[in-house]
Chain A
Amino acid sequence: MQDAWSHLGPLQWIRFVNKQIKVTAGKDEERRGWLVTVDPVSASLVLVDFREDGKMSVDMVMGHAVEEVQVLQEADSETLDRLQNSLILPKTCSLDAEELRRRRAFLQTWIQKNRIPVEEEGEELRVAGVLTIRAPYRPDDCCSSNQIILDRIQKLIQNLN
């Protein structure tokens, strides 16, 4: 039964997310917490526990050590909110469309002033055909497979703010 958890797969694992879980691992070690994610590479679970002082204690249980996983309860909307806003999750963009459009135009002008070709592609900016900038157009929102251009554009955006 030891490897059963590791073999469940992403479609099963994702069903456990945002639920309160009890994990038995190693030799009789038990961990409880709200499941944030399961790593598809190692089947490791990430659990959080909210403490009274407002801080979070995070537990990562290695996939290879998992013996048993039990669901205790579903998250209510308040817990769901706290989980979404915790520092350990990717931030979703919360600006309105008008503000985004303004920022995008401003950034596009700035990049063009620096003599770099940039085009608007829907809500994203495409720079020199190799780099994409998504909302909300901060240095961390740049994606590219070219490390040098990524560096340059990130520095450029940073100088703007």
Chain B
Amino acid sequence: MAAPVSVLRLPKGPDPNSRGFDPKSPRFIALCRTSISMSAASEADPEEQQREQHARTTLRERFLHCLLAMTNKKVQFHMYEKVKVEATFGASDIDMLHFQVSDLHTPIGVQKEALIRCHDVISLTFDA
């Protein structure tokens, strides 16, 4: 098993709270909506709204179970620019904006703990 490298501090980006994590930065606001809002049809009709909420709840509960099943498993992240990295999944935040992972294997070494931006990820794979 590769030994973890000490944390590399890369040069800071242009923004004060840089690298796209600042929730007030224009990049963040443009790319990362916190949630998908209710459909227009549901806003008009309360029965439709109930059905939509029920579907939303079922889907979200299943999804949360999937996230739970993923914890502490080795996950392969497929990111943009043909980047493929492997890490042990820790957790996701509530809006699916960041993943917390451990033992991230990168071309420059193993990062013991890391935060991955969900917006940089295309897909991820693991074995259940």
Show the binding face of A for B, using Cβ within 8 Å.
Answer: 6-7, 9-11, 13-14, 17, 25-27, 29, 31, 36-44, 46, 48, 55-62, 64-65, 86-90
Contact = CB atoms under 8 A, between A and B. Distances in A.
Interface residues of B, number: 38
A58 B63 contact: no
Contacts of A25: 122-123
Nearest to B53: A10
B118 A42 contact: yes
Contact of B51 (A11, A13, A44): A11
24 contacts: A9-B52, A10-B53, A13-B59, A14-B58, A25-B123, A26-B122, A29-B122, A37-B59, A39-B96, A40-B36, A40-B59, A40-B60, A44-B96, A55-B127, A58-B69, A60-B123, A62-B118, A62-B122, A64-B118, A65-B121, A86-B128, A88-B65, A88-B69, A90-B61
Which of A10, A17, A29, A65 has the most chain B CB atoms inside 10 A of its CB? A10
B66 A60 contact: yes
Nearest to B65: A90
A14 B121 CA distance: 23
Q: Which 7 A-B pairs have the closest CB atoms?
A: A37-B62, A26-B122, A42-B96, A10-B55, A10-B56, A39-B63, A88-B69
B123 A36 contact: no
A46 B126 CA distance: 11
A107 B38 CA distance: 41
Contacts of A64: 31, 118-119
Contacts of B121: 62, 65
Given A11-B48, A29-B122, 10 more contacts: A39-B63, A41-B36, A41-B95, A46-B66, A57-B126, A59-B124, A60-B66, A60-B124, A61-B122, A89-B65
